[in-house]
Every structure is written in structure tokens, then in C-alpha cells.
Structure 1
Amino acid sequence: MSVAQLVVTKRFSEYPAGRYRADGSFSGEVFREDLLVPLLAKHDEVHIDLDGAMGYGSSFLEEAFGGLVRVRRLSPDQLHRQLRFKSDEEPALIDEIWFYIDGAASR
């Protein structure tokens, strides 16, 4: 089984913000399209460490993770199998991400 480790602050930014690519280099769309989608295509599991960032806005999280379902048409079931999250600093982030993933299926 192939597992990828993604530490957001090391591979992306300490300041993730915004929804769309037009909002800046560290938006949810950039994270999803440039990092997350390729990792999901190549690996059975992707472990994402969310700790160390200066916060995550709801627009970033919804676009990055809910967008996997809305835009990329990945199923929530597939994402529940492939994604693992770590957030010791703010554990509620994990529930928020799953809320966006599961909610995107009904849109």
C-alpha cells in the first residue's frame, strides 16, 4: 500500500487562505489542484498534517476538500478511504473538513 505524507506547512504554506487561485498562491483551489489531486491519484492513502498553520478559513477548507467532490467528482466514500488527518492543535478542523466533503455530495 502506498502512503503519502503531506505536512501543510512544509509542502504548502503556514498561511493557507482564500478559495480560488485568483485569491493567491496559497488558496484552497491551488492546494487541491496542485498538491492534493496528484497525491490522491498516485497513492492509496494521503495523510495530511494540519498543525503549525496560522489558521484555516472556511473558504480554504471547503474549496480544498469539498471541491474534491464538487469539482473533481470524487466520492465521499473514496475520500474516507484515502484521506487521514492530523490536527493536534485544533482537532475540530478534522470534523469541519469531513463536513465539507460529506456536504458537497448533496450539492
Structure 2
Amino acid sequence: MGSRICATALQPEMVHAYWDAKKGGRDGATQFDLYHIFAILDHGSMNDHSRRRAKKLVYKIQWVGYDEKDHSWEPAAKIAGLVPKMKEEYDEMHGLLTLRDSTT
């Protein structure tokens, strides 16, 4: 089996310039409305307005084919549903495994 190399990882500026040059950007050119997570960059907490004074674990996400200005903060439950293995690896690396059960 050959190794799979992602152009976004090797040449992100080139990939973003390619999509920016297309009419309507990536979404307009592909007509896709699906987004794929490339990497979990960071984590933090935000107020959970559904519960008084509760904090909710969120992750800063890098999306495939999108540049830094499009990174977004997403709730832990959403990330667990989209990329459970990636989230688990990130949580383990950052000591978040004890928080996982109460935030997903």
C-alpha cells in the first residue's frame, strides 16, 4: 500500500489559492455542502446557555480546503459524532479524557 498524502497538509496556501480562484470558491465550484474536519487545533470552554453557569467543552476546527479565517469553534458532542477517533486522540494528548464523559 502506498502512503496517502494530503495536499492541504503539504501546500495549504496553494490549495486555498486554487479554491479562491474558482467562481464561488470551493462551495460554488464543487456544489458540495459537506465539510470535513482536517484537524483539531485547540480546545476551550464556553458558557452553556441551556444550563445556568455551566461550561461547555468546544474545539477549534480546521476544515479541509479552507484557510485559517474559516476555522471555527464546535461543541464536543458534534466533534465526537463526526470524528470520534481524532477527538479521542486529541483528548488523550491534551489530558481531556476525564472530561470526555461529561461533555459529549
What TM-score results when the alignment is normalised by the length of structure 1?
0.26
Q: Which has the higher contact order (CA 8 A, sep 6+)?
A: 1
User: Which structure dedicates a bigger proportion of its chain to strand?
Assistant: 2
User: Which structure dedicates a bigger proportion of its chain to helix?
Assistant: 1
Q: Kindly name which structure, 1 or 2, has the bigger radius of gyration based on alpha carbons.
A: 2
